[in-house]
Amino acid sequence: MDLQAVVDDIVRDLQPRLGEGKVADYIPELARVDPKQFGLAITTVDGTTYTAGDADTSFSIQSISKVFMLTLALGKAGESVWKRVGREPSGSSFNSIVQLEHEHGIPRNPFINAGAIVITDMVLAGHKPREAIGEFLRFMRFIADDDSVTIDEKVARSEQETGFRNFALANFMRGFGNLQHPVEHTLGVYFHQCALAMSCVQLSHAGLYLANRGTNPLTGFSVVSPKRARRINALMLTCGHYDGSGDFAYHVGLPGKSGVGGGILAIAPGKASIAVWSPGLNKVGNSALGSVALEMLATRTGWSVFGT
Pairwise CA distance, residues 32 & 161, whole Å: 16
User: Of these, 105, 285, 288, 295, which contacts ligand DON (CB under 6 A)?
Assistant: 285
* Interior angle at CA 80, CA 192 and CA 76, nearest 5: 50
Minimum CB distance to ligand DON, residue 236 (Å): 13
Minimum CB distance to ligand DON, residue 234 (Å): 19
The helix (run of H) or strand (run of E) holding residue 258 is strand 256-258
Pairwise CA distance, residues 229 & 210, whole Å: 5
List the interface residues with ligand DON, window 61-90 (CB under 6 A).
62-63
Kindly tell me the burial class for residue 259, based on how many C-beta atoms sit within 10 Å of its own C-beta (0-12, 13-18, 19 or more). Answer: buried
Is residue 259 within the footprint of ligand DON (CB under 6 A)? yes
Minimum CB distance to ligand DON, residue 73 (Å): 17
Q: At 142, is the secondary structure helix, strand, or coil?
A: helix
Q: Which of 58, 60, 155, 190 is catalytic?
A: 190
Residues 146-185 as x/- pattern, contact with ligand DON by CB under 6 A: -------------x------x-------------------
Residue 190 among the catalytic residues: yes
Q: Which of 33, 242, 276, 291 is catalytic?
A: 242
List the interface residues with ligand DON, window 228-257 (CB under 6 A).
none
Pairwise CA distance, residues 100 & 112, whole Å: 11
Q: Binding site annotation covers 209?
A: no
Q: Which of 33, 66, 199, 204 is catalytic?
A: 66
Residues 189-218 as x/- pattern, contact with ligand DON by CB under 6 A: -----x------------------------
Residue 63 among the catalytic residues: yes
Q: Which of 58, 63, 245, 278 is catalytic?
A: 63
List C-alpha distances in Å: 217 to 13, 76, 206, 272, 275: 31, 23, 11, 11, 17
Pairwise CA distance, residues 192 & 151, whole Å: 7
Looking at beta carbons only, is 192 or 213 nearer to ligand DON? 192
- Greatest distance between any 2 Cα atoms in the chain: 54
Is residue 44 within the footprint of ligand DON (CB under 6 A)? no
Which residues make beta-bridge pairs with 49? Answer: 43
Pairwise CA distance, residues 248 & 242, whole Å: 10
Residue 26 among the catalytic residues: no
Minimum CB distance to ligand DON, residue 113 (Å): 5
User: SS3 helix, strand, coil % of the chain, rounded to 5?
Assistant: 50, 10, 35
Q: At 219, is the secondary structure helix, strand, or coil?
A: coil
Residues at the interface with ligand DON (CB under 6 A): 62-63, 94-95, 113, 159, 166, 194, 258-260, 285-286
Which of the residues are catalytic?
A: 63, 66, 190, 242, 260
Residues making up the annotated binding site for substrate are 63, 113, 159, 166, 190, 242, 260
